[in-house]
Amino acid sequence: MEQRQQAETELQRSNQELEQFAYVASHDLQEPLRVIVSYTELLAQKYQKQLDEKADKYITYIVNAASRMQALIEDLLSYSRVGRCDFRLVSTDCNQVVDQVIHALHIAIAESDTTITRDRLPTIKADKEQFTRLLQNLIGNAIKYRQEEPPQIHITATQQDNQWRFAVRDNRIGIEAQYAERIFIIFQRLHTRRQYSGTGLGLAICKKIVQRHNGNIWVESELGKGSAFWFTMPVDSEISQ
Alpha carbons within 13 angstroms on the beta-carbon side of residue 37 total: 14
More confident residue, 62 or 105: 105
pLDDT value at residue 225: 75
Mean pLDDT to the nearest integer, 20-34? 69
pTM for the full predicted model: 0.71
Alpha carbons within 13 angstroms on the beta-carbon side of residue 115 total: 5
CB-based contacts of 53, cutoff 8 Å, min separation 6: none
Residue 199 CB coordination number (10 Å): 21
Q: Predicted confidence band at 84 (pLDDT cuts at 50, 70, 90)?
A: low
Helix (H), strand (E) at residue 127: none
Report the C-alpha dihedral over residues 137, 176, 157, 134, rounded to 10 degrees. Answer: -20
pLDDT value at residue 18: 61
**Per-residue b/e over 131-141, b at no fewer than 16 CB within 10 Å?**
bbbbbbbbbbb
